[in-house]
With several copies, the nearest count.
Chain A
Amino acid sequence: MRVTDLGHSYPGLPQPVLHDVSFTAADGEVLTIVGPSGTGKSTLLRCLAGLLRPGHGEVCVLGKPVDGVPDGLSMVFQDYSRSLFPWMRVGRNVEFPLRAAGVPAAERRERTAESLAAVGLGDARRKYPWQLSGGMQQRVAIARALACRPRILLMDEPFASVDAQTRADLEDLTLSVRDRFGMTILVVTHDIDESVYLSDRVIVLSRPPATVAEQVTVDLPAPRDQITTRSDPRFVHLRADVAAHIRGDAAS
């Protein structure tokens, strides 16, 4: 995936939201995007997903310029509760994209059950989304994205509403699906620790008009582990580094 000189303005805003954002993501890479609230992270993700035609610049996914939603891309929305369909049970919500893709019934069932179990909702299959708590809904949205086994996965603050323990589990899940399916994953997060723990590279966006303020390469060893990785001195150093970039920018 390659993003070149991406720019976007919403009508009525005095200045553009995104301004010359450029970066690339290699296959199988996990990137995290951090930046102040309201800077344009969700806007960026929507451009990448082909939901929003950027005012300027280009996004190439799997070698092709994005025009409409590219094949093999899934997204977890920040507004998860509105992205679940209230008339479908949880199981059907998760299964839905698989049906659309023509996955046979048996495999569909299996993948649905598997990904629901992976997010800790093995027994919520027959409930409706509105019968779930906020965090559970968010996990359903993640399960749905995972069940499609996309080649590119975009997640917008996907673990914001879950408790610390579940969050850690989901982080590890993210890394494991990357390893298993070789997905390219982009995660927007506000948690600096998380951004370092999850990613191969952290992209720091500046205040609006957002540009890539810094790209911090995370060279932590591969099988990451909540305890050992986080206590690695390099982790602590990287974390401080990212925080400084965010803050430093905030100060400027």
Chain B
Amino acid sequence: MSAVISPAPVSVRPLRTAAVVAGRFVLRFGLLAVLCWVWQRATEAAANPYFPTPLQILDRMRTLWFDGPASHLWTSAPLWTDVAPSLVRMLIGWLGGSLLGAAIGVSAGAFPTVRRMVDPAAQFLRALPTPAILPVFLIVFGANDVMRVLVIAFGCTWPVLLNAMQATGAIDPVARDTARTLRLGPRRRLVQVDLCYATPAILAGMRVGLALALVLMVLSEWVVATSGLGFFLVDSQRHFEFAGMWAAMVALGVLGYVFNTVFTALERRALRWHRHSRARHD
């Protein structure tokens, strides 16, 4: 099976030499290294307490989260009690919101009536300022994990919904007619044709949503919270613990990077068909 569809262009390439590998490494990490160096220099020069140097931030991150015993892989308790639950909430909210967005988006793209009904309400909800409607979530759902997950899901829905709606609406008419003549039930057509057709766009929306989910995770922990990465961020800021605040921001960046990398890998696998069928013979 893997023999039939191994990614086409790669295997034809000559063996990568060490130089090529090194070159790619530099390409991949060069900019980051340069920026880090500039950052270090600039913050050293500015000596502004609001802007600690990257090294100070790293050190703070170490003492915060990687101060534990070797038996716990050097991770310290706050990592598991503060950060991990935040991330679990974030992932659940992101997945839930994306699913919801895909479901509504695909249905709306496939059935114009649904679209005309859902669209204005969706556009309205989408533009409601999150911090201002957090209290509503708070009142309705209470100050618990469910509320925070819902806030995240609420925000992640829109990019997926809009992308899915666009893609499903623009489905190849021949493919749609084919689906109709194959007499698929509406559910099968929706799931196995429209949804599949929209997957690339949905995944692109989910990628936007992934970063948004981290942001919303932080926001959701600004209300009635006493733990979590978001709470830690504002609390550090309130206590003028700038290294801690920056540590939280860097942690968010790193987490976003990790999630995105994993997501990209999964996406590449899932969309192999798409790349090949679109790019055909290049």
Contact = CB atoms under 8 A, between A and B. Distances in A.
B175 interface: yes
A85 B177 CA distance: 12
Contact of A101 (B180, B183, B277): B183
A82 B174 contact: yes
B5 A12 contact: yes
Q: DSSP class of A's interface residues: helix, strand, loop or mixed?
A: loop
Contacts of A224: none
B184 A83 contact: no
B281 A55 contact: no
A74 B181 contact: yes
A77 B177 contact: yes
Interface residues of A, number: 35
Contacts of B196: 85, 87
B180 A69 contact: yes
Nearest to B5: A12
B274 to A, nearest CB: 7
A1 B203 CA distance: 45
Contacts of A96: 182, 184, 192
B179 to A, nearest CB: 9
A12 B4 contact: yes
Interface in B1-35: 1, 3-8, 11-12
Interface string A95-114: 01101110000000000000
Interface stretch (A46-54, A159-167, A185-193, A202-210): A46-54
Interface string B228-260: 000000000000000000000000000000000
A132 to B, nearest CB: 11
B172 interface: yes
B273 interface: yes
Interface of B: 1, 3-8, 11-12, 172-175, 177-178, 180-185, 188, 192-193, 196, 199, 273-274, 276-277, 280-282
Given A49-B177, A86-B277, 19 more contacts: A11-B7, A51-B282, A69-B180, A69-B181, A69-B183, A73-B183, A77-B177, A77-B178, A82-B174, A82-B175, A86-B274, A87-B273, A97-B182, A101-B183, A128-B5, A128-B273, A128-B276, A130-B277, A148-B182
18 contacts: A12-B3, A12-B4, A12-B5, A51-B281, A52-B282, A74-B181, A77-B178, A83-B174, A87-B273, A96-B192, A99-B188, A128-B273, A128-B277, A130-B173, A130-B276, A131-B4, A131-B5, A148-B182
